[in-house]
Amino acid sequence: MHRINGRTIAREIEEKLKGQIHNETPCLATLKIGDDASSKIYRKVIEQACKRLGIKPIQIDLPINIEEKAAIKKIRELNDDETIHGILIHHPIPSHLNQQNIIQTINPLKDVDGLHPLNLGSLLLGNEFLTPCTPAAVIKILGYENIFLQGKEVVIINHSPIIGKPLAIMLLNRNATVTICHVHTQNLKKHTTKADILITGTGVAGLITKEYIKKGSTIIDIGISQLPDGTICGDINFSSILSKAKAATPVPGGVGPVTVASLMENCIKTYKRLKKKGKKEGKE
C-alpha cells in the first residue's frame, strides 16, 4: 500500500504559491472566540505556514462569553480594514452565538474558509473560486495521486456543512458517483466496501479496518482523535488495511497539511482579487 504524504503535497503547493507573491504581503486575520485547544494548535500551524509564504498573520482573540453583537462588530471592523485580505474564524464557535450570523458577517471577498453561504452556493452552482479548505485538500490530494474522478464510486462518511456536504458537491462537479453516509446510516460496510475512493471523517479512532474497504481502493482520512496516551490518530486502522488498500493518507501528515496549504491558497486568491478590485475602483 502506498502511504500518501500530505506534507510533501503541501510543500509542492506552497512552492507554487510563493511564485505568485513577489514583494507583496497578503494579511490573514484569524479570529478565535474562547479558548479551544485544537483551535490553538491550528492557529499555530497557520502561523508557521504564513511565515514560510510571506503572509502576515494577525491574531484576534475574543472572550468566550462575548455577546453576538460585539463579535459581529469586530468582524465588520476586519471587513472594513483594507490592510486585511483574509478572515478566518476558528471553529468551534461558542454555542450561545448563532453560527450562521457570525459566518455570514464575513465579507465574502475575504472568506478564506469558503464557508460564507454566497461562496457555498456558488460552489453548488459549479463556481469553485473559494472552497472550504478540507474538501479542497481532499480534491487536491486525489489530483496529486492522478485519480480521475469521473464515474468513480466515492463514499464519504461525514455530512457536516463544513466537510461532507461541500465535498460531495465538489466530487459531483467532477462527475463522480457519490454516496454520503453518516451516523444514521443503517449498514455502513455495505456502502464503504463498494467505494473506489473512501473518504472518512468520523472521529472514531481506527474504525476503518480491512472489512470496511474494497480491494485496491484509495482511503482519505479526515478523522482526528486523541488517544488516552495523547497520541493523535485518524479513522483508519493502518495495519489492518495495509494489504488491501491501494493508497491511504495517514493522520497526522495526510489531509491536515494540505488543508493549511489550501487556506494559504485561498488567502492569496482573496488578496489578488481585492488588489485587482482596488486598482479598478482607483481608476474609475
**Nearest Cα residue to 87 out of 53, 130, 138:** 130
Looking at the Cβ atoms of 132 and 256, the one nearer to its own copies is: 132
- CA 170/CA 127 separation, integer angstroms: 10
DSSP string, 48-86: HHHHHHTPEEEEEEE-TT--HHHHHHHHHHHHH-TT--E
Binding-site member from 65, 82, 95, 184 for its own copies (CB under 8 A):
184
- CA 35/CA 61 separation, integer angstroms: 9
Q: Is 191 in the site for its own copies (CB under 8 A)?
A: yes
Q: Is 164 in the site for its own copies (CB under 8 A)?
A: yes
Element (H, E) at 122: helix 117-124
Stretch that binds its own copies, among 42-50, 114-122, 138-146, 198-206 (CB under 8 A): 114-122
CB of 29 to its own copies, least distance (A): 22
Q: Is 110 in the site for its own copies (CB under 8 A)?
A: no
Residue window 192-231: x/- pattern of binding to its own copies, with contact defined by CB under 8 A: --x-------------------------------------
Q: Is 102 in the site for its own copies (CB under 8 A)?
A: no
Residue window 2-41: x/- pattern of binding to its own copies, with contact defined by CB under 8 A: ----------------------------------------
Q: Is 117 in the site for its own copies (CB under 8 A)?
A: yes
**Alpha-carbon 263 to chain mean position:** 7
Looking at the Cβ atoms of 63 and 117, the one nearer to its own copies is: 117
CB of 176 to its own copies, least distance (A): 8
CB of 159 to its own copies, least distance (A): 5
Q: Residues for the chain: how many in total? A: 284
Contact at 8 Å (CB) between 87 and 29? yes
Binding-site member from 3, 74, 91, 182 for its own copies (CB under 8 A):
182
CB of 154 to its own copies, least distance (A): 10
DSSP 109: G
Q: Is the dihedral of CA 139, 4, 190, 207 positive or negative?
A: negative
Looking at the Cβ atoms of 20 and 104, the one nearer to its own copies is: 104
Looking at the Cβ atoms of 16 and 96, the one nearer to its own copies is: 96
Q: Is 180 in the site for its own copies (CB under 8 A)?
A: yes
CA distances from 37 to 54, 86, 88, 250, 259 (A): 26, 23, 17, 22, 18
Looking at the Cβ atoms of 125 and 242, the one nearer to its own copies is: 125
Stretch that binds its own copies, among 15-23, 27-35, 173-181, 205-213 (CB under 8 A): 173-181
Long-range contacts, 178-184 (Cβ 8 Å, 24+): 178/154, 179/153, 179/154, 179/155, 180/155, 180/156, 181/155, 181/156, 181/157, 182/157, 182/158
The residue ranges that bind its own copies (CB under 8 A) are: 100, 103, 115-127, 150-151, 153, 159, 161, 164-166, 168-169, 172, 175-182, 184-186, 190-191, 194
